[in-house]
Structure 1
């Protein structure tokens, strides 16, 4: 069981996942959390990360730090998505090992699996086929992180675990249409179109691909579960085991937002992977399952978006 007094370092505490993990740990009474903003600690700087670990000597590390984005962002910034994510995770995982950190959780993404992996995708499908080209740069970096964790478990018997969540959404998501993922992008588009007299909303592709979505508070709950468990494997999928078509998702978001206009699909834009559904049986067998239903989660996320819209727009202008 996790000692509530353990010094726990959360990398990426301001991001969607990291902030959810921070909320969860605080709710559970963990009172010795440490974190630094990117202006205080550049995780791409090996020396800076090593000095931070030397000074703070964390007992537990949760690596939720990454450069993330949707199809457009991956297409425009392949070098940054590959190199910067490798830098960040290499520095954190290596420093954790060198400082004899007791437990580490490395958070990745379901995009590590092959584009045409058997559905639902099990952990054993890793490296059995080619990746989806539109996010291969990010995926390759995360695969390297998974293998680093695996190597440290094998060679040094480290209690380190990789968690691969499915598509996440929730508070502190990225709603910038230039870099966001599909669900927050839909919320933003439908909201703005609603305010523009229910003008038509244009979405990429055909709407036929199927995706699985998990509320970020559920992945934070999974992290807490793993911190309190002895895990048999190095790699676990974290998801719902249920998917929905992009068209179905669009109709759901449209109804929740209250947009009454048309949806127009741009068939000239890429669909991405035809289907991405996680096999979550390994995590279920370990004793964890999700709690938040998709419709309830989207409603809560839209409420958060409305409450924070002014700040979201302010940040976009400043950046």
Structure 2
């Protein structure tokens, strides 16, 4: 790795910025990772100027892989990337021992960061969750990011977040509670070398205006804007140049597309508590914007042809495809 355990926070502050999307995994109809399609997508992410990708999570269907499939998938990603972007993993295991094994395996492949969700099966109290992360950080030097989300079954408390942020290799959190007030409080109360990332595009310009270093961590919003991605880059460049009226005008031009993206993904996730509806719909979404979506792994069902055609029409209408 590029850092020691005592340098993890400073390394993350200096090196984690920009867009680190969590991509879909293209599978064949038989349930195998479609390696050529995966390479196509990674080449496309490089061409988009993506700073990194964060693989292995809910949106990539890694929760539905066997351990050997999970490891092979991470090998394929590392090989296809060939050092062009930063690559990070997401670990969803309730077992600290299995999580540690996965962390160390990905480290040998060149992965720099592991997002580790708090256990969904057991370990619910603040002390138990703290002990889970202390177990990992005592045994691995890899930088770890938290995911503060109701999907885990337990939203990390603000008091627990303060304790966790002091662990040497915990470097940041993806703030997924969908409450903007939580983001403000975490940024105010946590140490300044611990990042708090807002995943949704609607807040990007606000964060820039407030002076926060920009980092979209382990989300999919940049990718799914399709043909409108350059507008995001343009309003960010205007903001960096201090031209806030121009930045605001470009940001406002994306509200219809942004609202549709959130309605189909974030708010569906909030309504159901599952990512299944989101990644199922994003498969044909990827196809419509020139990426390879592939098939969904059973037992989740692919979207119908009727819904696929409806989606394509909406994306064209909004200028995304």
Q: Which bin holds the TM-score, normalised by the shorter protein?
A: 0.3 to 0.5
* Larger helix share, 1 or 2: 2
**TM-score when scaled to structure 1?**
0.33
**TM-score when scaled to structure 2?**
0.33
